[in-house]
Amino acid sequence: MWERDGVRPGSRASEAHPPAAFAAVTAVVLTGAPRCGSMTQTLHNDVVMNELDQLSAVFGALADPTRRAILANLTSGDLTVGQLSAPFAVSQPAISRHLKVLEQAGLISRSDATAWLVGYREYWEESYERLDALLASIQQHDPAG
């Protein structure tokens, strides 16, 4: 909770003293320019505005019932686009667009397929090494074969 000059939020006195970030954002929104000329305040305003943009993106993403259902489905673990599109009467490209909106809002992230492939590469390399060892032992026991 913010507190300024000993004034607690929700008190009548707090209405007269909004948080500095709110006042700075209000000045930018209403006038189109920061209220003060200080570089620090301008940077602070940019940070606040970026946070507000991120918050707007999150609420925008959550406004759609399909995206909320997708998030609910992802709580059980990673799913493919095909698995995500199964319960909906929409195409996979439409689900991909929903996923892009959720990703841009920072609500989901795509798993790295490269890491998955590296794991399988290691598995198959070990399997081929075992196969090579087996073939070498067979050739040692049966040199005519």
Q: How far apart are CA 132 and CA 89, in angstroms?
A: 49
Report which of 104, 68, 100 is spatially closest to residue 87, judged by C-alpha positions. 68
pLDDT of 43: 60
Distances, alpha carbon 100 to alpha carbons 62, 77, 113, in Å: 13, 18, 17
Give the rounded percent of residues in the chain with a pLDDT score beyond 70.
63
CATH of 64-111, one of 1.25.10.10, 3.90.1150.10, 1.10.150.20, 1.10.10.10: 1.10.10.10
Distances, alpha carbon 72 to alpha carbons 37, 65, 68, 93, in Å: 46, 10, 6, 19
Per domain, the residue ranges of the chain are 1-62, 64-111, 112-145
Residue 67: count other Cβ atoms within 10 Å of its Cβ. Answer: 21
Using only the alpha carbons of the chain, give its radius of gyration. Answer: 28
Instruction: Tell me the pLDDT tens digit for each residue of 74-107.
Output: 988 888 888 888 999 988 889 989 999 999 998 9
